[in-house]
Structures are given as structure tokens and as C-alpha cells.
């Protein structure tokens, strides 16, 4: 049977009111990582109302996998993340968050709505015998945060062994710096390796008027900070991508007391494994530096998400599906994305979908907003790309 791509432009546009309704419902009821119970139940409810019967819940926590099959063929996954952020919303919208201190400020509400739209298209097409193969709709929890084992929702869903038959996997991300009608696509490493570090510099505090009687961890920390901030310019090849950022420095309680300890927390970002491990190697020298200045040091480095690698052959399909939209062939920046765990194991790719409003806002901001009409573009591009992969029989 020949796979038929049945007027996806028109059908995607017809989903607009449903996409907006679903997205605003999720936006009003955001849930943090590993707490997406209500979201998961709502997703299952909408999938069953659409006539989808093969639904697995509680996958990797609150994850949901819906499978739509129509005979033998390729198995294509499409993924959306569902969790929100610990941010107090300041949009003033009628559909603003009802959960104090929790907000969908990264577009995951739209991602989830878009995947539900794709579900509606493919269950209709399965019943009409318009394609051959299998589509797996992967609603993933916990993209924003890892648990005490250092695992995000992507890792837990992969560890469930319920996605091993996938031939390829697709995803998108809302892009508030691009307008509707624009997409950003990039081959190869497109988002950063993300590793975090915690440095505790320990000295022997005392009266600030008698610094010679102390081992001052604040003074020691100035050398540590200088060392950290110099790594970019003196250890990373200028032609490579790598950066270190300090997000927290904490020490002491009073202006006349030298503290016993200084805490430094930060992040390392890179695109290549060579730069990643070089930065980790250099940071592991910090305890020796501290010891040379008379202090002690506890250092913890936690490896996070790997760099997001986009398969060029899937990006070629995205570019074709996105026509006639404007395509920017640029990496997505130094943020991280746990979809990278999928693309380490399965040929896959993610593109960024333009959704800027008249008032430009950025990801993870308390006034973040999107042009909701862009969700129809997301449905169309992902659906057309899925159709192409089914037609090809996979990658």
C-alpha cells in the first residue's frame, strides 16, 4: 500500500481551535517534573476520545505512549515533553497558571497540544488506510529536571524498554526568537552538553579584624573564580564551543566575620565530547589549587544531558516539510535538551518552530507567551515528516 499524505495543510489548520483549547488547559494546570499526574490523565483522556486504544501510561513516571499501527512497516516516534517550571507567572492572561509558583514558560504545553493534534490526524488516517507502518506518540515527563539518580524523563522512558522498536524519532521546540513562518534547523550538535559542579571551599574562619589568624575561604575563592573564568579563554580552542557559568556563590552571615566555608555552584556547556571532558578535567584540579592556599575543598561534578545531535537525513525531511517557510540553518544555542538522550540511541532530530508574539519574550521568563497559530505549523511539519519516514520505510 502506498502511503498517502492527505492535505495536511488544511487538516492542520482545522485543528486550530482544539490545539488552543488543549494548550490553554495545560497552561492553566502546569505541573513540575515528575509530578505530571493531571497532565498525563488529560492526555490519556483526549487520546481515548480520539479513538486510540493502544495507550501505555506511567512509563518512566508519568509518561504516556500511544501507538497507532496500520500493518507492517517503519516505526516512527514523535515526542513532546509535558513538565513546567518553578516560575510565578506574570502574563495576566485569562488562562494563566492556577498553580502558584508553577508555569509553562518553555512551551511544553504547546508541544503536548501539537502531539495530540498529530494523534488525531494519524488515527483518522489509520482508519482510512492512508499509511502503512506504526506511529508512536511519546508524551514525556520531566525534561526540565533530573531526579536523585541524575535521570530525566527521557532516560527513564528509554530505560522502560518500551521504545526499542523505534526506527526514528522526531520532536520540535517552540522558538520565541523566530516569527511564525520561520523555523530553525541545524545538522549535528545543536544544543549543549550540560554538566553542573558544586565546589565547597573550607577554611578556618574568625574575626574579620584578625584575618592573619584565619584561613580565609573567601580570599581562596577569588583565585578559584579567576581560574574558572579563565578556562574559556586559555583552555578552550577559540574555534570550539565551550563555556563555564557561575550561578551561585554563598558565604557567611555577617560583615565582620570571616566564614568557615564558601559555596560555588555553576554549569559547564559544550558541543563536543573533547571540550566537555577537558573542562571536567580542569575543574578537577580545583581541590589542589585550594590546598596550595591552605584550604580544603569538596568538589562534585554531575554530568547532565549530552549535546543534542540532529541527524542530517531527518533534517532534510524537516526542510522539505517546512517549505515554503523561512529556514534558518543555525544551532539552537548553549541550552540543553534531554531529547538528546533519544538521539544518542535512535536516529532523530528536533527543529525550533517560530512562535514570536508582538511582545518578544524568552524561554523561562515569567511573561513567556507564544503565537498560538504556530501550533498548526508544528502539526503539519511533524505529520508530513512522519509520513515521509513511513513512506521510505525508515532511515
pLDDT digits (tens, 9 = 90+) for 119-142: 999 999 999 999 999 999 999 999
Arithmetic mean of pLDDT, 320-325: 97
Map residue 41 onto helix, strand or coil.
Answer: helix
Residues 96, 24: one domain? yes
Same domain assignment for residues 35 and 178:
yes
End-to-end, the C-alpha distance of the chain in Å comes to 19
Q: How confident is the model at residue 148 (pLDDT cuts 50, 70, 90)?
A: confident
Angle (nearest 5°) at CA 164 between 158 and 166 = 110
Cα distances (angstroms) measured from residue 230 to each of 222, 274, 283: 12, 18, 11
Q: Note whether residue 162 is domain-resident.
A: yes
Question: Do 332 and 344 fall into the same domain?
Answer: yes
Does a structural domain hold residue 2?
A: no
Asked if 313 and 248 sit in the same domain, the reply is no
Q: Are residues 245 and 299 in the same domain?
A: yes
H or E element, residue 65: strand 63-70
Q: What pLDDT does 4 receive?
A: 55
Cis before 174 (ω within 30): no
> Is the alpha carbon torsion for 172, 178, 182, 186 positive or negative?
negative
Task: Please check if 173 is assigned to a binding site.
Answer: yes
Q: Does 108 carry a binding-site annotation? A: yes
Q: What are phi and psi of 158, to 5 degrees?
A: -65, -40
Please report whether residue 35 resides in a domain.
Answer: yes
User: By C-alpha distance, which of 162, 127, 172, 78 is closest to 390?
Assistant: 78
Does 106 show up as a binding residue in the annotation?
A: yes
CATH (domain of 82): 3.40.630.10
For a pLDDT cut of 70, what percent of the chain falls above it? Answer: 98
Residue 87, pLDDT above cutoff 90: yes
Using the predicted structure, report yes or no on whether residue 342 has a pLDDT greater than 80: yes
Q: How confident is the model at residue 270 (pLDDT cuts 50, 70, 90)?
A: very high
Query: What is the Cα–Cα distance from 222 to 338, expressed in whole angstroms?
Result: 34
* Residue 119 burial by Cβ neighbours in a 10 Å radius (0-12, 13-18, 19+): buried
Convert the pLDDT of each residue in 98-125 to its tens digit: 999 999 999 999 999 999 999 999 999 9
pLDDT greater than 80 at residue 231: yes
Residue 253's pLDDT is 96
pLDDT per residue over 348-363, tens digit each?
999 999 999 999 899 9
Please report whether residue 3 resides in a domain.
no
C-alpha cell at 152: 530525566
In 176-260, DSSP assigns E strands to 182-184, 188-191, 193-202, 206-207, 242-251, 257-258
User: Taking 70 as the threshold, does the pLDDT of residue 382 lie above it?
Assistant: yes
Q: Check if the beta carbon of residue 77 is closer than 8 Å to that of residue 166.
A: yes
Cell of 63: 509518561
Q: What pLDDT does 360 receive?
A: 87
Residue 25 DSSP SS3: helix
Average pLDDT of the residues in 14-36: 98
Model pLDDT for residues 67-76, shown as the tens digit of each residue: 999 999 999 9
The pLDDT of residue 232 is: 87
The average pLDDT across 302-309 equals 95
Same domain, 115 and 154: yes
**Residue partners of 308: CB distance under 8 A and separation at least 6:** 189, 190, 191, 192, 332, 336, 337, 339, 340, 343, 350
Instruction: Please indicate, yes or no, whether residues 26 and 168 belong to a single structural domain of this protein.
Output: yes
With 0-12 / 13-18 / 19 or more C-beta atoms within 10 angstroms meaning exposed / middle / buried, residue 395 is middle
| Residue 102 contacts residue 85 (beta carbons within 8 Å) | yes
**Which domain covers residue 63, as residue numbers?**
8-191+307-392
Is the pLDDT confidence value at 273 over 80? yes
Neighbours of 54 (CB within 10 A): 12
**Domains contained in the chain, number:** 2
Domain's final residue, options 281, 303, 325: 303
Amino acid at each position: 500500500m502506498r502511503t498517502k499524505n492527505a492535505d495536511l495543510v488544511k487538516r492542520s489548520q482545522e485543528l486550530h481551535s482544539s490545539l488552543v483549547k488543549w494548550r490553554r488547559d495545560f497552561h492553566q494546570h502546569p505541573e513540575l517534573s515528575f509530578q505530571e499526574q493531571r497532565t498525563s490523565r488529560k492526555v490519556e483522556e483526549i487520546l481515548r476520545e480520539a479513538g486510540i486504544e493502544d495507550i501505555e501510561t506511567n512509563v518512566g513516571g508519568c509518561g504516556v505512549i500511544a501507538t497507532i499501527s496500520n500493518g507492517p512497516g517503519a516505526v516512527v516516534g514523535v515526542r513532546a515533553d509535558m513538565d513546567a517550571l518553578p516560575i510565578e507567572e506574570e502574563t495576566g492572561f485569562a488562562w494563566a497558571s492556577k498553580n502558584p509558583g508553577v508555569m509553562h514558560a518553555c512551551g511544553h504545553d504547546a508541544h503536548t497540544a501539537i502531539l495530540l493534534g498529530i494523534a488525531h490526524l494519524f488515527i483518522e488516517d489509520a482508519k482510512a488506510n492512508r499509511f502503512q507502518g506504526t506511529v508512536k506518540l511519546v508524551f514525556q515527563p520531566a525534561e526540565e529536571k533530573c531526579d536523585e539518580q541524575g535521570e530525566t524523563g527521557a532516560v527513564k522512558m528509554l530505560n522502560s524498554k518500551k521504545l526499542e522498536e523505534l526506527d526514528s524519532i522526531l520532536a520540535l521546540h517552540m522558538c520565541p526568537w523566530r516569527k511564525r513562518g520561520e523555523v530553525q534547523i541545524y545538522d549535528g550538535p545543536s544544543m549543549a552538553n550540560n554538566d553542573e559542579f558544586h565546589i565547597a571551599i573550607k577554611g578556618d574562619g574568625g574575626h574579620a579584624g584578625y584575618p592573619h589568624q584565619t584561613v580565609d575561604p573567601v580570599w581562596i575563592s577569588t583565585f578559584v573564580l579567576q581560574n574558572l573564568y579563565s578556562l574559556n579563554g586559555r583552555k578552550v580552542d577559540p574555534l570550539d564551543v565551550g563555556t563555564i557559568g557561575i550561578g551561585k556563590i554563598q558565604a557567611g552571615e555577617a560583615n565582620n566575620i570571616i566564614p568557615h566555608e564558601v559555596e560555588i555552584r555553576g554549569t559547564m556547556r559544550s558541543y563536543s565530547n573533547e571540550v566537555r571532558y577537558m573542562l571536567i578535567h580542569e575543574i578537577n584540579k580545583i581541590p589542589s589549587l585550594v590546598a596550595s592556599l591552605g584550604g580544603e575543598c569538596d568538589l562534585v561534578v554531575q554530568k547532565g544531558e549530552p549535546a543534542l545531535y540532529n541527524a542530517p537525513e531527518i533534517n532534510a525531511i524537516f526542510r522539505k516539510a517546512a517549505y515554503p517557510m523561512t529556514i534558518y540553518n543555525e544551532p539552537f544555542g548553549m541550552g540543553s535538551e534531554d531529547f538528546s538522550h533519544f538521539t544518542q540511541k535512535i536516529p532523530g532530530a528536533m527543529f525550533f518552530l517560530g512562535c514570536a508574539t508582538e511582545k518578544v519574550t524568552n524561554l523561562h521568563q515569567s511573561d513567556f507567551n507564544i503565537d498560538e497559530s504556530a501550533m498548526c505549523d508544528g502539526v503539519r511539519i511533524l505529520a508530513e515528516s512522519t509520513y515521509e519516514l513511513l513512506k521510505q520505510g525508515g532511515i
